[in-house]
Amino acid sequence: MEHSESDTVKLKAAQDILDRAGFKAVDRKLVHQINFDLQDMTSEQLDEELQGVYQSWLDNYLHTNNLKIVEMTDEEIAELEHGLEGKMLS
């Protein structure tokens, strides 16, 4: 970054460093407006709508952050927690 003459190259290098450090700029998102009357919906319909919005958000969040959900048994979770506690103490 220090050796480049081009401001564009310096800017891109600085952005890459910040991205890797967890300071990525917020991406612009398309907002979807939902036009319907919530008062006319049943509790079940509201639950379905909320679940759909949540699932969409979760899918996008996992994809954006390169994450995935894994299923673990209680024993695997306990083992993982025990291993993390040991690392935190050392």
Taking only the tens of pLDDT, the chain with its 90 residues reads: 567 678 888 888 888 888 888 777 767 766 666 666 777 889 999 899 889 989 999 999 999 999 999 999 999 999 888 887 776 665
DSSP structural state of residue 29: -
Question: Can you give the pLDDT at residue 66?
Answer: 92
Mention every residue, 6+ apart, whose C-beta is less than 8 A from residue 69: 62
Mention every residue, 6+ apart, whose C-beta is less than 8 A from residue 27: 64
> Is pTM beyond 0.75 here?
no
